[in-house]
Amino acid sequence: MSNTRLDKCPKPNKPEYAFIGRSNVGKSSLINMLTGRKSLAKISGKPGKTQLINHFIINEKWYLVDLPGYGYAKVGKEKRSSWMQFTIEYVTKRENLQCLFILIDARIDPQTIDLEFIDQMGQNQIPFNLIFTKTDKMSASQIQKNISKFREALAETWEELPDYFVSSARTGRGGDEILSFISKTNSDF
């Protein structure tokens, strides 16, 4: 089911796990890797492909939710603003949202837009975890260095740092850990 309105989302009777991140962070690739389906979420080299709240039912037990990316996209400012408005409404009001996974490109230095979005989620008391993506393109030491840099930037405003996963859609890294977290959280729903 795909739409832009909270009242058009599926009934909130199953746990939901939503995925969001800057445009082109690898969100669609990660979703496809987690579900074992090559084209469930549409992959594009052009930022801004996901423009709706997309619900996918998984094993008739829970919903995986693909949200529009934030930041740069090849669309007008008004359209990007509209995406962010319905996205924020979804994450702040959806009562069965168990976790928002915020994807971060592990290859780059901490970006203000990511840090500000994470702060906004914290201020709204949204349950979230980070997923560092695209780690297949780096050495293990570079991954740790970049994650440490990001966590140091977060520590400037956070007393307790959020949990995180390290992933690669290309190699499947992190998939089992993310799905295990979802399974454990579902058992408490």
**Tens-digit pLDDT profile for residues 110-146:** 999 999 999 999 999 999 999 999 999 899 999 999 9
- Residues in contact with 40: Cβ distance below 8 Å, sequence separation at least 6, in sequence order: 31, 32, 56
- What's the distance, Cα to Cα, between the start and end of the chain in Å? 22
Q: What is the mean pLDDT of the chain?
A: 88
Whole-angstrom Cα Rg for the chain: 16
What's 48's DSSP letter?
Answer: T
20-34, 121-135, 163-177: which has the minimum mean pLDDT? 20-34
Q: All domains of the chain, ordered by start, with CATH?
A: 12-187 (3.40.50.300)
